[in-house]
Structure 1
Amino acid sequence: MKFKSLSFATAFCLAGLAVFAGDGGKGKKPADAAGQLKLPAGFKAETVIENFGRTRHLAVTPNGVIFVKLEKLKDGKGIYRLEDTNGDGKPDKITGFGDYVGTGMAVRDGYLYASSNTDVYRYKLDGSNNVVNPDKPEKIVSGLLDRHQHNSKSIALDNSGNIYVNIGAYANSCQVQDRTKGSPGRMPCPILDSAGGIWQFKADRPDQTYGTGVHYASGLRNVVGLDWNTQTNSLFVMQHGRDQLSDNWPQYFNTKQSAELPSECMYELHKGSNCGWPYIYYDQIQHKQVLAPEYGGDGKKGPEKEFQDPVVAFPGHLAPDGLLFYTGNQFPEKYKNGAFVAFHGSWNRAPEPQAGFFVVFVPFKDGKPSGNWEVFADNFSGGADKTASGRVDYRPCGLAQGPDGALYVTDDTKGVIWKISYNK
């Protein structure tokens, strides 16, 4: 069954039902980064830490220790361990290690996994989730492509000893001249042999490269948010859709169409999945795959070859940077096994208003989307005018679940980490 999304306007109406966190819906002026957020009734946000640099993805251990990856070094370090030892909700024991920037962060079976823009490392943890040898991690994977566009190497682990790594395409749509008006697409796209997809490696094997890995899925322009769904035993990813339809192909697309298209897509992947980039994009308004203009499309024509359809199709240019399947017991039952998506926010909607800068929730039942997505946490931007301009206060990026079932969210502009809890 294809999953049809709500219209963007309807989604924003749902967001209007939310209340300021902790103020009972009375509209009190937010006092800090946590008070600024709008959440559904019964939820509250707390600020774990602020002004901590460009915090990307994070992981929380069973004893509540937070590990967070930075996109820019802070005091020469790219990973930080945050521990609250006195129970006041704020980390008072903070240590940094790792001299590389990046995005990926995960904890599994006594190890911390972290990625740079070319490599994947793992660190042994002790019984208190301290890093045993922070200066000498194992290098699990090395030599992944970094052409300075879509270069973050996000990671996810399954339950069978494998780690999945995104290698983003170093192009918008595989044109002969990238991001150039009227430039045709290269056929076949040479990028797809080493980027534009997901690669699978062994989580415990050092010194792996492209040659020892498995090209697990292709046709994905760039995936920053991904997570393993334990119900379906499969990998789900969020793709960043291509840009500049009206800039490069004004004969087929006006600025409004270019702002809404193509969809930001959620895919369920299996070995051999091909989602079609750069040859097609998914149009959530027409509910179909559309041949890309670089390959002879006109905004209406479908491809001769069908590729994998998304399971959820969101509006375009919201920039999904985090994906998390919620398995905790703290939130109401509707959230169990559903998906949270952090939308970092757009840049490619001008002259239309920018959009995104929120965390949404997608309900799932029996491993499939079971209803319309809804805005869960909003007002990271600081208001409608800031959203429209794109000059926002915060941009949600990483998501993680705490041992108590709370949801953690990072911001990679001012370095905020929020903890969102439900008041039972």
Structure 2
Amino acid sequence: MNKKIFFAFCLSVIVMGGLLSFKLINDDNSISGRAIANAGLTLPGGFKAAVIADNLGSARHLVATPQGDIYVHLAGTKNGKGILVFHVDGDKATLKSSFGTFGGTGIAIKNGYLYASNSREVYRYKLDDKNEVINPDKPERIVTGLLDRRTHAPKAIALDNDGNLYVNIGAYTNICSEFDPKKTGCPILDSAGGIWQFKADKPDQTYRDGIRYATGLRNVVGLAWNQQDNQLFVMQHGRDALTTLFPQYYTVHQSAELPAECMFALKKGDNAGWPYVYYDWMQHKNMLGPEYGGDGKKLADSKYIEPVAAYPGHYAPDGLLFYTGNQFPEKYRNGAFIAFHGSWNRAPEPQAGYCVVFQPFKDGKPYGDWEVFADGFAGTEQQKASGHAVHRPCGLAQGPDGSLYVTDDNKGTIYKITYKN
């Protein structure tokens, strides 16, 4: 065979082989068992993601209705409104309306009402039989006068099956050290650093009317009522600055990884231990904090509850959802999805988080290892490592068809994640 002809033949085989391989990879839509989603996310095989809305502002938590609508709460207001209403049809979301003169984080639907919070109040709106707000200009104020010291000010909410409303009151300090707690304890725990319980239908309640349901929680943004075991679950943002404050006890690597971001299953009266303790996810132990006599080795008092699951430090969990749909494979049923907003303080280690993880559950409790479910929100590895993330996951909701919605409060993007075997 002529050398030129032979070379051309070989080249064509290589090119065609490459094209065939490219087609097979894309037809299978998986590389090493991970799907490449067309919204820029990486997902497990069989899952797809689509951007259904974008540039909304700082989109925080959201909730979906059986009729295919979603209510999205913005941190601030857009055109004077803090709650956006979309109708979702396939991979497209159409803006129906907007209302509410306040921004915030918390939003939930229960027993014919839409609940929404700002940093100081919780309101509710009556819904009609299509789960549409009847009078958007006249909400009923359920709780007023909540503590707002700017730091950890967002008020996340959840509702149980017995007419109770749960509100996070974040601590307005890292570790309470500015209050000389060795002498007096942490004085702010009477009004912050915990979960407060209120009646879901009683107007104008204040702290005096509420119950401090659980304490010792530095800041909770992701919380949800687990229907499987009828219990409140929360995700705590752990403390900062271990090595900055105590370089004699902690390396920079330890300070980047510790303390754990913790999932707690709460009962009335529980104390999770902040500011006195932190959880070391590498040792699987509750540790005494260095401000209170700890040295990275001393264990915490057993009177403090331990987390039911733990995750690397500074990932910043902002959303928690228990999946009860039928669309996703069976392994996801009754398990928890967690939206990690991403870190800013893991230097000199790369910044991390900016993902949605899945935590398997069995009989109402975490069972087995957690796994990254959706990644790629941050953009390139360089953007992620430097903390300059393009998108930062925040809120989670389950659609009526079992799809998963994820908000991004950086660019104001809403993702819809679906599964098709």
Q: Same fold (TM over 0.5)?
A: yes
Describe how 1:158-307 pairs up with structure 2 within 5 A.
Answer: 158-176=160-178, 187-307=184-304
Query: CA separation in 1, counterparts of 2:217 and 2:71?
Result: 28
Given residue 327 of structure 1, which amino acid in structure 2 is its aligned partner? T
Query: CA separation in 2, counterparts of 1:185 and 1:400?
Result: 42
| 1:150 and 2:155 correspond | no
Given residue 25 of structure 1, which amino acid in structure 2 is its aligned partner? S
Query: CA separation in 1, counterparts of 2:102 and 2:245?
Result: 36
Query: CA separation in 2, counterparts of 1:377 and 1:185?
Result: 43
Query: CA separation in 2, counterparts of 1:89 and 1:251?
Result: 53
2:82 aligned partner: 78
Given residue 113 of structure 1, which amino acid in structure 2 is its aligned partner? Y
2:138 aligned partner: 136
Describe how 1:13-412 pairs up with structure 2 within 5 A.
Answer: 24-25=29-30, 34-84=38-88, 87-176=89-178, 187-412=184-409
Query: CA separation in 2, counterparts of 1:184 and 1:162?
Result: 33
Query: Can you list the C-alpha shifts for 1:352-376, whole angstroms capped at 9, x where unaligned?
Result: 1110000000111111211100000
SS at match of 1:92: strand
* Deviation of the 1:88 alpha carbon: 5.0
SS at match of 1:231: coil
SS at match of 2:30: coil
* Deviation of the 1:128 alpha carbon: 2.2
In structure 1, stretches of 5+ residues that fail to align are 1-19, 178-182
Query: CA separation in 2, counterparts of 1:50 and 1:94?
Result: 15
* Deviation of the 1:34 alpha carbon: 5.0
SS at match of 1:91: strand
Query: CA separation in 2, counterparts of 1:117 and 1:78?
Result: 13
- Give the number of the structure whose residues are more often helix, by fraction: 2
* Deviation of the 1:305 alpha carbon: 4.8
Residue 408 of structure 1 contacts residue 419 of structure 1 at CA under 8 Å; is this kept in 2?
A: yes
Given residue 407 of structure 1, which amino acid in structure 2 is its aligned partner? L
Given residue 24 of structure 1, which amino acid in structure 2 is its aligned partner? N
Query: CA separation in 1, counterparts of 2:273 and 2:27?
Result: 44
Residue 84 of structure 2 contacts residue 95 of structure 2 at CA under 8 Å; is this kept in 1?
A: no
* Deviation of the 1:185 alpha carbon: 5.5
SS at match of 2:92: coil
SS at match of 2:407: strand
Query: Can you list the C-alpha shifts for 1:125-154, whole angstroms capped at 9, x where unaligned?
Result: 112222111111000001110000011100
Residue 173 of structure 1 contacts residue 185 of structure 1 at CA under 8 Å; is this kept in 2?
A: no
SS at match of 2:291: helix
Residue 47 of structure 2 contacts residue 420 of structure 2 at CA under 8 Å; is this kept in 1?
A: yes
1:4 aligned partner: none
* Deviation of the 1:336 alpha carbon: 0.3
SS at match of 2:263: strand
Q: Tell me: higher relative CO, structure 1 or 2? Use CA pairs within 8 A at least 6 residues apart.
A: 1
Query: CA separation in 2, counterparts of 1:159 and 1:285?
Result: 36
Query: CA separation in 2, counterparts of 1:72 and 1:389?
Result: 26
Q: Count residues with an aligned counterpart.
A: 395
TM-score (norm 2): 0.90
Query: CA separation in 1, counterparts of 2:322 and 2:366?
Result: 12
Query: CA separation in 1, counterparts of 2:277 and 2:183?
Result: 13
Residue 344 of structure 1 contacts residue 357 of structure 1 at CA under 8 Å; is this kept in 2?
A: yes
* Deviation of the 1:99 alpha carbon: 1.2
Query: CA separation in 1, counterparts of 2:76 and 2:239?
Result: 25
Residue 91 of structure 2 contacts residue 416 of structure 2 at CA under 8 Å; is this kept in 1?
A: no
* Deviation of the 1:95 alpha carbon: 1.3
Residue 21 of structure 1 contacts residue 43 of structure 1 at CA under 8 Å; is this kept in 2?
A: no
Query: CA separation in 1, counterparts of 2:395 and 2:313?
Result: 20
* Deviation of the 1:186 alpha carbon: 6.1
Sequence identity of aligned pairs in percent? 63
* Deviation of the 1:46 alpha carbon: 1.3
SS at match of 1:241: coil
Residue 50 of structure 1 contacts residue 414 of structure 1 at CA under 8 Å; is this kept in 2?
A: yes
Note the aligned Cα RMSD (angstroms).
Answer: 1.9
Residue 174 of structure 1 contacts residue 186 of structure 1 at CA under 8 Å; is this kept in 2?
A: no
Query: Can you list the C-alpha shifts for 1:29-63, whole angstroms capped at 9, x where unaligned?
Result: x99x9520000000001111011100000000111
2:414 aligned partner: 417
TM-score (norm 1): 0.90
* Deviation of the 1:214 alpha carbon: 1.1
Query: CA separation in 2, counterparts of 1:411 and 1:358?
Result: 11
Query: CA separation in 2, counterparts of 1:83 and 1:368?
Result: 34
2:11 aligned partner: none
